[in-house]
Amino acid sequence: MNTTPASAVAIYPGSFDPITNGHLDLIERGARLFDRLIVAILRHDAKQSLFSVAERMEMLSEVVGAFPNVSVDCFDGLLVDYAARQNATAILRGIRAISDYEYELQMALMNRRLQPRIETIFLMAGEAYSFISSRLVKELFSLGGNISGLVPPPVEIRLRQKSEI
């Protein structure tokens, strides 16, 4: 009998356009729960993005460098198919407020229907981050508001660089 426990791999999927301190909080906590955590950017998002996938991968890689069991990747197509290819047993998602719940429930149930062996694990957003979203950060920045403390420093730098172009 094989007594070696299988290593637990989880996927943390999203648009990450850009990564916020709320995402980072989830990554830090997810990295403690799983042996390996893959932060996976959806490549073909219907949403108009500010940063290219390559730029988002660069920012994420810089920011997660401190966590040895966290890697960054991107994917196309169904999330559960990608998760299965990575031998992941879990999908990690954050919930900020009750307004997130309905969409997340629908997605988790659809994903479970497609791949019953892959569980969606929800973590409540840290209270300091529950109001942060990538969309609000972009809006705030574009209107000249102060975004420090909302995004990791490399993202702040990139946003400034983009506004100078």
Q: Is 96 designated active site?
A: yes
Q: How far is the CB of 42 from ligand PNS (least distance, A)?
A: 4
- Report the 3 state secondary structure along 29-74: HHHHHCCEEEEEEECCCCCCCCCCHHHHHHHHHHHHCCCCCEEEEE
How far apart (Å, rounded) are the C-alpha atoms in residues 21 and 26?
9
Stretch that binds ligand PNS, among 9-17, 50-58, 138-146, 152-160 (CB under 6 A): 9-17
Stretch that binds ligand PNS, among 27-35, 103-111, 120-128, 150-158 (CB under 6 A): 103-111
Rg, Å, the chain Cα set? 16
* 54 or 160: CB nearest ligand PNS: 54
Q: Does 18 bind ligand PNS (CB under 6 A)?
A: no
Cβ–Cβ < 8 Å for 164, 75? no
How far apart (Å, rounded) are the C-alpha atoms in residues 32 and 116?
24
Total binding residues toward ligand PNS, as defined by CB under 6 A: 9
Q: Does 14 bind ligand PNS (CB under 6 A)?
A: yes
CA angle 12, 38, 59 (to 5 degrees): 85
Q: Is 47 designated active site?
A: yes
**Residue selected from 37, 39, 50, 79 as contacting ligand PNS according to rule CB under 6 A:** 79
Residues interacting with ligand PNS, by CB under 6 A? 13-15, 42, 78-79, 107, 110-111
